[in-house]
Amino acid sequence: MNFTAPLLLSLKLSAITMTLLLIAGIPLAYWLVFSRARWKFLAESVVALPIVLPPTVLGFYLLMIVGGNSVIGQWYESFFNKTLAFSFEGLVLGSFIYSLPFAVQPFQAAFASVDRRLLEASWTLGRSRPYTFFSVIMPLSRQGIITGCVLSFAHTLGEFGVVLMIGGNIPGVTKVASVAIYDEVQSLNYGSANMYSMILLSFSFAILAVVYFINRRFIRTI
């Protein structure tokens, strides 16, 4: 049970993060592609920050923002009667921000690659922008949507720095598989560190292989 708990926690965290990124990432990517706002490049830079930033920097500032001494942290504590830092919810927040570009950028690339004439054709056929989005943009972007989901899932599964900074190492609450590996190595338990590593490696490889396989099939059918 103790061995599987970090793995299950990792999977749960990845699944929740992926779902939230799917819900929030699609409208954000749509806005980034189709908005004419002049300061859009700033938003794009913020979204891409986690790619270049050391996870510890991100984790540190997140901890400052949601920690017990911050306004947000205190508000959260008074509302839910527990801290956001060092909790599973805090991990979800950290993972969401950390994996944001891995979901949004593939969504964005997919939306941008839809031929604009198809959207114009849809509008001149009397169809609204939301209808066009669900009937033209989404079906033609399914490859990018799947890629974004899987990448954000896999990326969350493998994150370490942010998780450790914001979540710490509380068994059953914030001790995910990547942290467990670090823990086992620190205690010189190379055997179980290897087991965790092997499982993460195989799992990551398997989902990436499945995605590339599915994408190839889509390419053939379109």
Provide the binding-site residues for another protein, judged by CB under 8 A.
Answer: 115, 117-118, 120-128, 135-136, 139-140, 222
* Least CB distance to another protein at residue 126 (A): 5
Q: How many CA atoms lie within 13 A of 134 on its CB side?
A: 4
Using CA atoms, how far apart are residues 121 and 45, in angstroms rounded to an integer?
A: 32
* Least CB distance to another protein at residue 112 (A): 16
* Least CB distance to another protein at residue 38 (A): 19
By C-beta, is 87 or 143 nearer to another protein? 143
By C-beta, is 3 or 123 nearer to another protein? 123
By C-beta, is 124 or 186 nearer to another protein? 124
By C-beta, is 69 or 124 nearer to another protein? 124
* Least CB distance to another protein at residue 138 (A): 10
